[in-house]
């Protein structure tokens, strides 16, 4: 077809071809739109790796970026273990796994119920995993789960354990999970390339850990500030900012980044019985802003009006935000890039390339890492204690409600058996 058109163009001129001028005028705009979209979509993963037989544990793998990561790794033959808050009999998770298996031609996709908003649920799963003998194979842990309380909404806490939701899901649950799984990670054979991939974001640079690591940060050099010629104290200069949903999310991500680097040191310091070098690598991934449910909730402030504005401006968001698959590229790069097999871990990946950390005075401060670890351990103990008391109380109330219901049914059955109902005697007298 192009040959006759070109022949006609040369023979009869531009005017002989219908709609040619409108097409030529529109073409530069379409090319420009494509280039802008390609720019905002970010870098593409060019690394490939044989994933057949590799066991990959994933949190947040049922939506957004996590779903795209799971789909791509399953397509390459990885055995996926989804950690999901849904019950395994839930219609959604059953349909989701069935669909994944059909689309990827991979039947090695399973799920385990783990509610990251409950430390008890995390402990139940992780303890069951490490109690297996010999240790179960585990090649990779990918932590994609994330939550964010929109601005203008009240701060929410997890039921029973009383931990702020952003802190729990984004950080403390991951700390608890990996702390328990640590023996299973260290027990993997020395020739196995084991990777732990943390999902973080640039918001961690606005986080605030001074209520945890104030003494640690006092070791770092801070600029002296004065007011009316009088120096301001260190604590006043670096006082924690007012607590808010955005601050809670940023602080949870800062804690996660700090813990990730500390966990790499924790694993590297382990001396294997076979004297072989430790083979577990920690990698942090910043996927950038993508069109995920979490980003949509943040942009809409969790309100119907915000959702209406989001839908109205959707062409703009489509242009400047990555697709979930685009956001997954850096995760796939961290999972499959060959050179990470030989690296020492503790790296930040963004746009499929290595980047340097911000807030180094916090995230790379060994004293800050130590204090955060100790604080987190203590917090887990206290929260689990509150959670246990809450479950006991709920069980007691449930038993009491059940006893009351049984008593009511027994009284009702007795009355029906004797042919008497409340008010019947008085009715007969009145008659």
Catalytic residue of the set 37, 221, 225, 253 = 253
Q: Is the dihedral of CA 384, 387, 393, 399 positive or negative?
A: negative
What would the two tokens of residue 304 be? 């119907």
- Annotation marks residue 230 as catalytic: no
Active site residues: 253
């Amino acid at each position: 077809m192009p040959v006759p058109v070109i022949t006609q163009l040369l023979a009869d001129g531009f005017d002989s071809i219908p709609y040619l001028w409108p097409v030529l005028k529109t073409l530069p705009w379409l090319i420009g739109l494509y280039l802008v979209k390609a720019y905002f979509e970010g870098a593409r993963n060019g690394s490939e790796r044989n994933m057949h037989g590799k066991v990959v544990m994933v949190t947040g793998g049922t939506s957004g970026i996590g779903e795209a990561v799971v789909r791509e790794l399953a397509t390459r033959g990885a055995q996926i273990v989804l950690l999901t808050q849904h019950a395994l009999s839930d219609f959604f998770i059953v349909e989701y796994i069935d669909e994944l298996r059909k689309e990827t031609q991979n039947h090695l996709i399973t799920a385990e119920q783990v509610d990251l908003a409950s430390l008890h649920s995390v402990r139940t799963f992780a303890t069951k995993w490490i109690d297996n003998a010999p240790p179960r194979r585990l090649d990779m842990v990918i932590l994609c789960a994330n939550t964010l309380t929109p601005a203008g909404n009240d701060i929410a806490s997890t039921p029973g354990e009383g931990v702020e939701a952003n802190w729990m899901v984004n950080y403390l649950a991951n700390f608890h999970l990996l702390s328990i799984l640590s023996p299973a990670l260290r027990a993997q054979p020395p020739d196995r390339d084991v990777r732990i991939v943390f999902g973080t974001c640039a918001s961690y640079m606005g986080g605030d850990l001074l209520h945890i690591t104030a003494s640690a940060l006092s070791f770092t050099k801070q600029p002296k500030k004065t007011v009316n010629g009088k120096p301001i104290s260190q604590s006043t200069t670096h006082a924690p900012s007012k607590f808010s949903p955005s601050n809670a999310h940023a602080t949870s991500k800062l804690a996660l980044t700090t813990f990730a680097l500390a966990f790499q040191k924790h694993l590297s310091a382990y001396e294997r019985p076979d004297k072989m070098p430790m083979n577990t690598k920690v990698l942090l991934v910043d996927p950038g802003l993508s069109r995920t449910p979490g980003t949509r909730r943040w942009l809409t402030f969790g309100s119907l009006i915000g959702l209406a504005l989001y839908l109205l401006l959707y062409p703009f968001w489509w242009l400047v935000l990555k697709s979930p698959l685009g956001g997954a590229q850096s995760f796939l790069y961290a999972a499959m890039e060959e050179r990470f097999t030989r690296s020492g871990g503790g790296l930040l990946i963004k746009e499929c390339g290595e980047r340097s950390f911000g807030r180094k005075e916090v995230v790379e401060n060994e004293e800050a890492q130590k204090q955060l670890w100790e604080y987190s351990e203590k917090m887990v103990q206290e929260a689990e204690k509150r959670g246990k008391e809450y479950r006991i109380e709920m069980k007691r109330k449930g038993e009491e409600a059940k006893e009351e219901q049984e008593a009511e049914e027994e009284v009702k059955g007795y009355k029906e058996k004797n042919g008497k109902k409340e008010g019947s005697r008085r009715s007969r007298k009145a008659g």
